[in-house]
Amino acid sequence: MTGPFGTEEVQLVTGWGRTAATAAKHLAPETSDDVRKALLHSEGHVIPRGLGRSYGDTAQSAGGTVVDCTGLDAVRLVDVAGGKVTVAAGVSLDALMRTLVPLGLFVPVTPGTRHVTVGGAIASDIHGKNHHHDGSFCDYVESMVLDLPDGRRLHLTPEDDAFWATAGGLGLTGVVVEATLRMRPITTSSMVVDSWRAADLDACMADLEASDAAHRYSVAWIDCLATGARLGRSVITCGDHAEVDDLAPRQRSHPLAFDPHSLLQAPQVAPPGLMNRATVRAFNEVWFRKAPRRRHRSVERISTYFHPLDGVRGWNRLYGPRGFLQHQSLVPFGQEEALRSIIERLAASGCASFLAVLKRFGPANAGHLSFPMPGWTLALDLPIGPPALGPMLDALDELVVAAGGRVYLAKDSRMKAELVPQMYPRLESWRAVQRELDPGGRLRSDQSQRLQLLP
Ligand SMILES: Cc1cc2nc3c(=O)[nH]c(=O)nc-3n(C[C@H](O)[C@H](O)[C@H](O)COP(=O)(O)OP(=O)(O)OC[C@H]3O[C@@H](n4cnc5c(N)ncnc54)[C@H](O)[C@@H]3O)c2cc1C
């Protein structure tokens, strides 16, 4: 079929976890005017999409239209002295860093991959290893331009309720076409990093808490197969932006150099079952032992520190044809026993998490559906396959809800719909704003249908 954007193909789409593919018409506008046309021209349900790094079905819409925003890739204005940038919403954080790091500016909140778009970062209100210190992505958005399915174009600032419905609003309030962001000044493209081992969960939590004030960035990798006295044994990594004096003499002549590249390419087809309990156990043992016992100040590249997984292109294929999911939960401070129960359940379940990461969050912002609030957040990457997986995750969700916590919707692919209002108490206020923005009910994703986010 041919439309205003050339051939309009029906494509099968999944999230990063490569599960639950659905077919939708794929439109790829290259300008904001094209987005407006795409919204007006398409029929049925529609959802914006960035680089597809959400794990589940949040950026797909079965039988409808997916508006691929990655063609909106213009960096419009860079104000180096004022530390601000205006970009089209399909610009990736990778592109932004390649442009801005050499100029001494850094994206104030970065997730574990650079390959997300600004639109996707806003729609999930993403967080980094510095939430306890700096908050989440939308705290740095000064303004944004939002295109609505009926052709309206809104210019939003943090004064507007629609701004905070769009922050973390999962693409269901409209298509962000442009944003102005505040950036962080830096003097080098390196980090000074302390890392050390923690013998168990208590030591890990105590060390992370103590590092809040001392370090801008902190995270713990947890060995989720360790049980008994070693439950929660972990490797803690804390970092801060390096100053020129921290660099080796040979690096000081080009302190802001930034040119990361992938060193490896994952095979197109990985053998099923590659990520199993035995391989995870072996990896965990090596990872724990290779970490230094005590902290030490090492200087690392921004890309090595923040985005190690970007070094292997297409690593999500390593999980084989059935794919994988990520379960990221949050329990408020004071509910540490719930966190312990979650890790105990996981360790006892026989399901092996290749990547298990614990972080601390600081105060929440005004995003109606934003995930972060003060507490502990645990992210688990789990291969699809073991029969125990579904019941175990349902049990984890119950523990999280009982503790007053929540699951991160940008990562979700399987949660029960009835839990959402308990996890997100501002769901109704978000729905009210969403209805005003999309009275025709055009914006829908597979996830919004599955979780009944919209009436
Ligand atoms: C390896 C890895 C590490 C990660 N680490 C973190 C982390 O540390 N912290 C964190 O918070 N997240 C993390 N994520 C998740 C990721 O940051 C989010 O899912 C992000 O939203 C993905 O952006 P994207 O451009 O790929 O968007 P997509 O995955 O394509 O879409 C995500 C959502 O954004 C909406 N959307 C996309 N573009 C627009 C637009 N222009 N206007 C309106 N809505 C839009 C979509 O409808 C969808 O709801 C990680 C993901 C991976 C794969």
Is residue 52 within 6 Å of ligand 1 at its C-beta? yes
> What pLDDT, in 10s, does the model give residues 53-95?
999 999 999 999 999 999 999 999 999 999 999 999 999 999 9
Q: Is position 19 within any domain?
A: no
Q: Which residues contact 160 (CB under 8 A, 6 or more apart)?
A: 154
| Segments forming the whole domain that contains residue 315 | 190-417
Residues 195, 155: one domain?
A: no
Tell me the pTM.
0.97
Nearest CA to ligand 1 atom 19: 54
Nearest ligand 1 atom, CA 129: 8
**Is residue 394, in this structure, part of any structural domain at all?**
yes
Q: Are 34 and 5 in contact (CB under 8 A)?
A: yes
> Does some domain include residue 174?
yes
pLDDT above 60 for 2: no
Mark whether 130 and 275 lie in a shared domain: no
Q: Which atom of ligand 1 is nearest to the CA of 51?
A: 26
124 lines ligand 1 (CB under 6 A): yes
Answer yes or no: do 280 and 180 share one domain.
Answer: no
Nearest one of 105, 82, 68, 88 to 179, comparing CA atoms? 88
195 and 170 within one domain = no
pLDDT in tens, 137-167: 999 999 999 999 999 999 999 999 999 999 9
Closest C-alpha to ligand 1, atom 49: 170
Q: How far is the CA of 307 from the centre of ligand 1 (A)?
A: 15
Band (3; pLDDT cuts 50, 70, 90): low
**Amino acid letter, 377:** T
State whether 236 and 328 are in the same domain.
Answer: yes
Per the structure, the count of domains in the chain is 2
Could you give the strand order of the β-sheet that contains 141-147, starting from the edge strand earlier in sequence?
Answer: 75-79, 84-88, 175-182, 141-147, 153-156
Q: Tell me whether residue 317 is in a domain.
A: yes
281 and 412, same domain (yes or no): yes
Segment 93-130, tens digit of pLDDT? 999 999 999 999 999 999 999 999 999 999 999 999 99
pLDDT at 266: 74
Residue 410 Cα to ligand 1 midpoint, Å, equals 7
Average pLDDT, the chain: 94
- Give the residue, by CA position, lying nearest to ligand 1 atom 47: 171
Atom of ligand 1 nearest to the CA of 16: 53
Percent of the chain with pLDDT over 90: 83
Judgement on whether residues 266 and 166 belong to the same structural domain of the protein = no
Classify residue 426: in a domain, yes or no. no
Return the half-sphere exposure (C-beta side, CA atoms, 13 A cut-off) of residue 74.
Answer: 10
Distance (Å) of CA 340 to CA 130, 161, 328, 337: 23, 37, 15, 5
- Residue 90 corresponds to which tokens in the numbers above? 């399909």
Determine the distance separating the centroid of ligand 1 and the alpha carbon of 93, expressed in angstroms. 11
Q: Please write the tens of the pLDDT for every residue from 175-185.
A: 999 999 999 99
What is residue 147's DSSP assignment? E
Rounded Cα gap, residues 154 and 366, in angstroms: 19
Q: What is the arithmetic mean of pLDDT over 265-271?
A: 71
Report the separation in Å between the CA atom of 124 and the middle of ligand 1, taken as the mean of its atom positions: 6
pLDDT of residue 282: 74
Q: 50 alpha carbon to ligand 1 midpoint, in Å?
A: 7
Same domain for 165 and 216? Answer: no
The predicted structure's pLDDT at residue 339:
97
Q: Please state the length of the chain.
A: 455
Position 35 pLDDT exceeds 60: yes
| Same domain as 147, residue 199 | no
Looking at the fold, whether 167 and 195 belong to one and the same domain comes out as: no
Amino acid, single-letter form, for residue 192: V
Q: Is 410 near ligand 1, meaning CB less than 6 Å away? A: yes
Residues 181 and 217 in one domain: no
- Answer yes or no: is the C-beta of 175 below 6 A from any ligand 1 atom: yes
pLDDT in tens, 298-340: 999 999 999 988 988 888 998 889 999 999 999 999 999 999 9
pLDDT tens string 231-249: 999 999 999 999 999 999 9
- Range of 270-274, 276-280, 330-334 with top mean pLDDT: 330-334
Q: Residue 103: which CATH number?
A: 3.30.465.10
Q: Which amino acid is at 41?
A: H
Residue 264 sits in a domain whose CATH number is 3.30.70.2520
